Amino acid sequence: MLEVAGMKKFRLPTSDTGVQIEGRVGGSGSPLLLLHGNPLSQNSWNRILPQLMRKHTVVTTDLRGYGDSSKPQGLPDHTNYSFRRMGEDQFEVMRALGFERFALAGHDRGARVAYRMALDAPDLIMKVAFLDILPTHYVFHHITADMAVDLYHWFFMAQPKGFPERLLGGHEAFYIRDKLMKQGPGKGGFTEEEIVEYIRVCTPENIHAVCEDYRAAATIDLRMDTADLEAGRLITVPTMVLWGERSHTALRHAPREVWPMYCSRIESMIGLPCGHYPTEQAPNETWQAFDAFF
């Protein structure tokens, strides 16, 4: 893990026996939990942590299966890698740190965990921010050819256990460098130190966990999201939506039109001058949006 002054490391157990979550906490003020994306870790927030810590007690974690958190074998129905189970980990971590209610922000897969958390327990989330995603339900129901090419990994990693794991195994360094710096629109912006750190945590166990994440998204998560939407359940907590203007999110769809179908209290929607990685590619603009919203 890359160091940030003022952030203290922790490792906490969850109610899922044997699964522990690695994290950091620092700063002072109202609690703010930050959740990273794939194939990243909590280090993805490092560039904006010093500013956020001035006004918030900031908590960053590695999602289960990622970074230095536990990486259990996936269950046959993938439920232990559903966004709901990942969200339960985060509620338990925050409760253990003394925070029953808190603000929440997520990028990429972390934003999908945040989405489920805000739907399941709106009374516990003060505000929520989603960085460079469209809702999982929308993506699966409005996939186009160019979007499918950009999001090929959604379908590759969701293939049956063993197939994507074997193809990626032994090629971790190439995979991380190519995925973060080249694949699809709006990539790049990472230092060599950051790349080396993401290669370090890209282990066979991590690759399996990421595949389970995507298998869950295409099955149990999609079913849950569909049931919520059909029942008229929307996200009701104050919401901010950020996206990169050079990311596939904006190039392939219209976030301003999509998000109001899933959230009833959107307070801010901002396109940032970046691609898929706002905190790396546009840290100042990302922090300013956070400061204004949170």
Give the model confidence (pLDDT) of 43-95 as tens digits: 999 999 999 999 999 999 999 999 999 999 999 999 999 999 999 999 999 99
Average pLDDT over residues 120-140: 97
Q: Which residues of 58-69 are buried (b: 16+ CB within 10 A; e: fewer)?
A: bbbbbbbbbbbb
Average pLDDT over residues 138-158: 94
**At 119, which amino acid appears?**
L
- For this structure, is 208 an active site residue? no
Pairing of strands 102-107, 30-35: parallel
Q: Is the per-residue pLDDT at 1 higher than 80?
A: no
Find, among 19, 158, 173, 183, the residue nearest to 85 by Cα: 19
Mean pLDDT of the chain: 96
Q: What is the pTM of this model?
A: 0.97
The H-or-E segment that residue 7 falls in is none
In the DSSP assignment, the letter for residue 184 is S
Name the active-site residue from 68, 108, 132, 221. Answer: 108
Name the active-site residue from 36, 56, 78, 276. Answer: 276
Can you give the pLDDT at residue 185?
A: 78
Confidence band of 220 (pLDDT split at 50, 70, 90): very high
Instruction: Extract the tokens encoding 3.
Output: 């160091």
Can you give the pLDDT at residue 2?
A: 78
- For this structure, is 276 an active site residue? yes
Can you give the pLDDT at residue 57?
A: 98
Beta strands in 77-226 (DSSP E): 102-107, 125-131
Q: What SS3 class is residue 270? A: strand
Within 13 Å of residue 258, how many CA atoms lie on the same side as its CB? 20
pLDDT, tens digit (0-9, with 9 covering 90-100), for 178-210: 999 987 777 889 999 999 999 999 999 999 999
Can you give the pLDDT at residue 212?
A: 98
> Would you say 53 and 6 are in contact if contact means Cβ atoms under 8 Å apart?
yes
Q: Where are the alpha helices (DSSP H) in 97-191?
A: 109-120, 136-141, 145-150, 152-156, 163-168, 172-181
In order of start, what are the domains of the chain with their CATH numbers? 8-293 (3.40.50.1820)
